[in-house]
Amino acid sequence: MSSSVSSQHDQVLVEENSFARILTLNRPKQLNALSFQMISRLLELFLAYEEDPNVKLVILKGKGRAFCAGGDVVAVVHDIWAGGWRAGANFFMKEFSLNYLMATYSKPQVSILNGIVMGGGNGVSMHGRFRVATENSVFAMPETALGLFPDVGASYFLSRLPGFFGEYVGLTGARLDGAEMLACGLATHFVPSAKLPMVEAALCDADSSDPVIISSIIDQYCEKPSLKEQTVYNRLDVIDRCFSQRTVEEILSALEREVVDQRDGWIFATIQTLKKASPTSLKISLRSIRVGRVQGVGACLAREYRMVCHVMRGEFSKDFFEGCRAILLDKDKNPKWEPSKLEHIADTTIDRYFSKVKDEDWEDLKPPTRSKFNLPPYVIAKL
């Protein structure tokens, strides 16, 4: 076995049970950040399991204190420096193809989110049929602080959260706990971590791909968690008033009016978070989530692939590389965004992120063909 194949197999552990396959993301020191090898291996396994009549469901979990902290962005940046923007585009092409496969999978995927689940980690879990949160879960889409935008199909799943909660989560990178994930619909179930081995054992004995049966099995171990007193989910009225505004500038103005009225520390902190983020990222993120409200999951991923290719090319802004430098590499946490102010970014510039890449060899995202599978109604609804 070649070293690269060995690496793929080491980074995703496979456990075969009677009717289930348990896949464990296995880079615990990197908080299971998704490498190109991991994504390729997951794609290979999910495609094979869909063809195998003996496999009824797939369980995905992470080793250590994270489910998955995101894509391995540092590796992507190094690849771009070494081989040009196409090296980064290849990573996202493969990742988004996996996201689409999971979103349209004909068998139930159960993701056990017992720990950190951020960025790309949400791409390999939120599109699956069942997402099990625990008291250890921490959700976030922190891309605007990195000069990126919520990708991996986030414009699909964030735009379908209650009210304008998705805009809030996507623009601010706010962290949510397991109870909040369940309340807003990011999680389908909440199971105390001590009961997870029992859930897995019961699922492995289930000779069924029927989502009603799978859900009822998980239900047996569920608890109804209490939202903490200071939960952001109790601020939905303020969030809806402010994050329903048409532009990022208007969202900030609405929040500043709320601060005057309420003297609220949470609102002030939200304003500061938005002011620290990349102005370009905020603008493309807001538009992406808004457009995502009226698109199916395939169209969302295809559009996000265009957007991420423009980000990798750095034609209109190099904020992604500056964000990675400041947050992940030098770690001075002091990125110098350019343009530095929202008002310096024209709508026509944002339009360009949503256009085809002008490169003769470039192609739009071509996700896996799904027509031959008998897709369940909950999948067809996403298309």
Is 249 a catalytic site residue?
Answer: no
Catalytic residue among 120, 128, 147, 178: 120
Catalytic residue among 72, 79, 95, 143: 143
Q: Are strands 20-25 and 12-16 parallel, antiparallel or unpaired?
A: antiparallel
Alpha carbons 90 and 75: distance in angstroms, whole number? 12
Catalytic residue among 151, 180, 258, 304: 151
Strand partners, 109: 58
Q: 3, 16 in Cβ contact below 8 A?
A: no
In the block, residue with structure tokens 């395939």: 298
Is 296 a catalytic site residue?
Answer: no
> Could you tell me the strand order of the sheet in which 130-133 lies?
12-16, 20-25, 57-62, 109-113, 130-133, 189-190
> Could you tell me the strand order of the sheet in which 116-118 lies?
66-68, 116-118, 138-140, 176-177
Strand, coil or helix: 34? strand
Is 151 a catalytic site residue?
Answer: yes
Q: Which long-range contacts (CB under 8 A, 24 or more apart) does 334-341 make?
A: 335/147, 335/278, 337/147, 337/278, 337/279, 337/280, 339/279, 339/280, 340/279, 341/279
Task: Count Cβ neighbours within 10 Å for each residue of 326-359 and write b for 16 or more, e otherwise.
Answer: bbeeeeeeebebebeebeebeeebbebbeeebee
Q: Are strands 109-113 and 130-133 parallel, antiparallel or unpaired?
A: parallel
Q: Which two tokens stand for residue 375?
A: 């897709």
Alpha carbons 242 and 231: distance in angstroms, whole number? 17
Alpha carbons 313 and 142: distance in angstroms, whole number? 21
Strand, coil or helix: 22? strand
User: What one-letter code names the amino acid at 118?
Assistant: M
Distance of alpha carbon 131 from its chain centroid, rounded? Answer: 13
In which element (H, E) is residue 76 found?
Answer: helix 73-83
Is 143 a catalytic site residue?
Answer: yes
Catalytic residue among 62, 71, 173, 298: 71
Q: 102, 158 in Cβ contact below 8 A?
A: no
Catalytically active residues, by annotation? 71, 120, 143, 151
